[in-house]
A = this chain, B = another copy of it.
Amino acid sequence: MVTIESKRITPPKRLLYGPGPSAVDPRAYEAMSQPVVGIRDPYLLDLLSEIQSGLRNAFGTRNEATFPIPGGGGAGMEAAVSSFVLPGSKFAIFAAGLFADRMTVVAQRQRATVARFEKPWGEVFSAEEAEEFIQRQQPDVVGFVQAETSTGAYQSGRAITAAARKVNALVIADCVTSLGAMPVELDSVGIDVAYSCSQKGLSCPAGLSPVSISPRAYQWLQSRPEPPYTWYLDLALISKYFEPAHVYHHTPSPPLYYAMHQGLAAIEEEGLQNRWARHQQTNKQLLAGLERLGFQPLVKNPDHRIWHLTTVIPPAHVDEASLRQKLLERHNIEIASGLGQLSGKILRIGTMGPLATEESVDFLLESLADCM
């Protein structure tokens, strides 16, 4: 048996320039060592209500049903899909990346009939394409990924929600990578159900998935004919803890709540629009520098790029795996490879939260140049 009794936690100080987990806001670190309290402690419930308010700000919504559920973005995805996509119903998915594929699998496990509109990874969908697909499929629910972490492609979803509304379909959006760093704007885009994570644009540690549900989706959920297969991720049950009666469903993690509160506070301190602008600015700076080093952007259209997650194809002579290894060893820098069909073909470089600054981008570019 390994004996761990005398070991203390002394992690290396990595610079997390990957797609997430991203650098954690110093305020969040400070918060996590504060004492835990019980699940209905007045202090926790006050904090929770402020977290919900901060999440509404980041999501761009007035949805009352906005709260963090336990687990990561995958928990949010399964909660959204299993709660809103009935077995046997038609679920139309816009698919151009790994997380749209994951949404497909999750929906198939719910015994939904999945219709996929596929495009090459890195592309997004036009209003005409969305309109044609949705009119042809007449789905009950539509799913899309606002910021595809596997490709670096962003689309607000306006093109999709407009078409979905015409056939009265609910729209589920994967906002795992967009929340907190670029526009999500649930209400103005017209998204019904959104989920995200804590460890990317919110600059918090992983462990919570913020979820938001529009009034019409919430109403649908209350009259759902039978419960979903999942109990743990059933949003009809989970949401009751976040309503005034605070009905027990699961035990929340106070340190993760504390961290999220402070991550959201940092966003309000800076101003959401200022934070977006900062991420947009560093994206331009980073991509210009990468192009000088011979990298090419995977997402061709500048309007379709995630600001804080830049995806690039390395020059032919550069081996991406050994470049990543060198960056970690020489500079304590973590960046990421591609996923799925892009594995080994691209690099994914995040400049999020505390690392979305001119100095941090300069440092990253210098370190890259040093390791090539």
Which residues of A are in contact with B by a Cβ distance under 8 Å?
1-14, 16, 18, 20-21, 24, 27, 29-39, 41, 43-44, 47, 49-50, 53-54, 56-57, 70-75, 77-78, 82, 102, 105-106, 109-111, 197, 199, 205-207, 227-233, 248-256, 258-259, 261-262, 264-266, 268-269, 334, 339
Contact = CB atoms under 8 A, between A and B. Distances in A.
A259 to B, nearest CB: 8
A366 to B, nearest CB: 21
Nearest to A41: B14
A286 B252 CA distance: 28
Contacts of A34: 9-11
A59 to B, nearest CB: 12
A4 B54 contact: yes
A250 to B, nearest CB: 5
Interface of A is mostly: loop
B78 A70 contact: no
Number of copies: 2
Contacts of A70: 70-72, 75, 207
B72 A11 contact: no
A242 to B, nearest CB: 15
Contacts of A207: 70, 207, 253, 255-256
Contact of A30 (B5, B33, B50, B261): B33
B16 A36 contact: yes
A261 B78 contact: no
Given A3-B268, A75-B232, A232-B71, A33 B29 contact: yes
Contact of A20 (B37, B233, B251, B261): B251
